[in-house]
Amino acid sequence: MKARFLRIYSPHALFGLILLFFFFAPPLFSETVVDWGGFLQSTSKVTIQPEYEFDQAVQTGLWLNTDFSDNFGLYARGFYIYNEERPYFADIENLFARGSSLLGTEGEEYLLRYSLGRFRFSEFTGYVLNHNLDGFQLNFQLPALSLEASAGYTGLTFVPSSSILVTQSDYDLQENVAEHGYELSPPKLIETLKMTIPAIALQQELILNVVLQQDLQPEENFTNPDDRIHSEHIGFGLRGGLVPSLYQNLFLYLNRGHGKYATAALLFGGGLSYYNQDFLFTRVQIRGLYSSGDNDLNFFYGGYGGSGISSHFVTLSASPLFGIVFSPQIGNMSFGEISFSMRPFSKTNSRILEKFQTTLAALTFFRNTGGAISEAGIDLTSDESYLGSEIDLSLQFRPLSDVGITLAGGLFLPNERVFMEAYDNIQSVIRLDASFRF
C-alpha cells in the first residue's frame, strides 16, 4: 500500500502536473500575468574544533507565480536538495492560491485576504510555530484592528521537510526515516488565531496570539506507550518605536500541554534595536529570552519522568538559529545577545561595495533547570546553569539583488562543568552560504 502511495504522490510527477497547469491555464483568463524563475543555494560548513568535519548542501528549484486578476493568484515553488545524508530528495515547498476581496457596505468596507494550500504558518515571534503546513488562512483588515485565523495539517509533509517534533515518537521517526525520505510526517492539526491592534498608545502595537495543536498520531506508530501530547499556547506581544531610531519588542507565551503528561510552562523575552541609516546603516541590537524547563526531563522531546505537571516549555517547530556554532532549541534554556552591524563602504561611490555588510555578535547561554536540553553532551548530574558563550562574525555581500554571499565564523566556549568530557572543548565553525536567483 505504501509503495502504491509513493507512485501516486511522486513529487516529480506532481510538480510536473503543477507546471503544466500554470502554463496552460493562463490563456483562459484575459488578465493573467505569469512570472517564473529559479534559484540555487549552496551551504558549506566546516567544523574545525573539536574535530574536523565538512558538510555540504546544495538546493536548486523553480518557482512560478500566476496572477489571474488583481484579486486572485496561484504560487508554486519546488526544490531538489543534495547533501551527504540524502543525495536525492525533491519536494514541493509551496503550492497555494491567494486572493483578496472587499466586504461590507459602502463606507464600512474591510479587506479580506485568504490563502489555501501549502504555505508558511507562523505566530508573531516565530519561536513557537514557523513552518510550512497544508491548510488555509483568513485575514480581516478592520478599521481598528487586524484578525487572522488559520488551520493547517502536518501529515502531508515528507519527514525531511518537517521540523515539528513534540513527542519522542516524532523524534524517533525523524531519526529513522527511510533513506529515500518519502515518508509522511506524524499527523497533527494546528490552528492559530491572531489579533493585532496597531498603535494603541505611544506608537506601540499590541498582538494577541493563540496556537492550538492536536496530536493525531495513530497508536500503532507510537515508539513509546501513550506517546501523545496536545498543546495550547497563548501569546502576548508589544512592539514599536520608543524614540526616533530606537525600537523595542516584548513577548510572553503561556504553554499548556496534556496527554501522556501535563505541562504548564512559560516563554518570555524581548529586545531593543537602534538603527541609524545615515551613519553607515549602523544597527545595534540587544535581545534575550527565557524558556522554562524541568528537572525531571530526561529526554528533550517528550521525555518527562516526573509524577506531577511538567514545567518544560514545548515549541511546535524548530527554533531559529541563535549561534553559528551552538544553537539549542527553545525549552529549558535562556540566552542573551548583543550584536552590531554596519555597511562600512556605504559612503563610497561604488554601487557594489556599498552592499557589503559586517555583523559581530556575542551570545551567552544558560540552562534553567538540571533537566535535559536539545543538545547532546550535557551532564544531567551537574547543577550548573551557565552553558557557555559564543562570538560570531558575519560578512555579507550582495552585489546584485539576485546574488548573495555570506561568510560567517563562530567560536563557542562551553562550560566544562556542564558538558561531559567529550563535549567540553572549544568549538569553532566556518560557514559559507551562496545564493543565486533568476
Chain segment 293-351, per-residue pLDDT in tens: 999 988 899 888 888 899 999 999 999 999 999 999 999 999 999 999 999 998 888 88
Alpha-carbon radius of gyration of the chain: 23
Q: How far apart are CA 210 and CA 212, in angstroms?
A: 7
| 8 Å CB contact between 389 and 412 | yes
Q: What is the pLDDT of residue 128?
A: 97
Amino acid at position 13, single letter: A
Q: What is the pLDDT of residue 22?
A: 56
Q: What is the pLDDT of residue 31?
A: 72
Q: How far apart are CA 267 and CA 332, in angstroms?
A: 10
Residue that is written with C-alpha cell 547543577 in the block: 383
Chain segment 357-375, per-residue pLDDT in tens: 999 999 999 999 999 999 9
As averages over each run of 10 residues, the pLDDT of the chain (438 residues) reads: 43 57 55 90 90 92 93 95 89 96 81 96 97 97 92 96 94 90 95 91 90 94 88 96 93 95 96 94 96 92 87 95 95 97 90 91 96 90 93 94 94 93 89 94
Q: What is the pLDDT of residue 19?
A: 56
DSSP assignment of 127-141 equals: SS-EEEEEEEEEEEE
Q: What is the pLDDT of residue 125?
A: 96
Residues 6+ apart with CB under 8 A from 343: 280, 281, 354, 355, 356, 357, 358
| 8 Å CB contact between 247 and 240 | yes
H/E segment holding residue 12? helix 11-24
Residues 6+ apart with CB under 8 A from 334: 288, 289, 290, 291, 365, 366, 368
Q: What is the pLDDT of residue 400?
A: 87
Q: Cα 20–23–24 angle (5° rounding)?
A: 80
CA 159 and chain centroid, separation: 16
- pTM, entire model: 0.89
Coil, strand or helix: which one is 106? coil
Amino acid at position 234, single letter: I
Burial 21-46 (b: 16+ CB within 10 A, else e): ebeeebeeeeeeebeeeebebbbebe
Q: What is the pLDDT of residue 325?
A: 95
173's grid cell: 521517526
Q: What is the pLDDT of residue 223?
A: 87
Closest CA to 368 of 318, 294, 432: 294
